């Protein structure tokens, strides 16, 4: 799962690094993907979603 993409067109759709702003949504996505997958699931992140917010919550 890619939560590292900083592209504005991606983040405007609450995807990519913008996902770090919604912990509940990420938890639901992870649970669904892990449940549906028979292989390990990985998550790619950035240090934050903007220079002002370098650390995810």
Catalytic residue annotation: 5
Q: How far apart are CA 32 and CA 20, in angstroms?
A: 17
Please classify residue 49 by burial: count the beta carbons closer than 10 Å to its beta carbon, then call 0-12 exposed, 13-18 middle and 19+ buried: buried
């Amino acid at each position: 799962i890619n939560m590292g993409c900083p592209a504005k067109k991606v983040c405007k759709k609450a995807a990519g690094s913008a996902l770090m702003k919604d912990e509940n949504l990420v938890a639901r996505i992870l649970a669904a993907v892990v449940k549906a997958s028979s292989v390990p699931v990985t998550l790619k992140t950035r240090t934050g979603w903007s220079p002002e917010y370098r650390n995810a919550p």
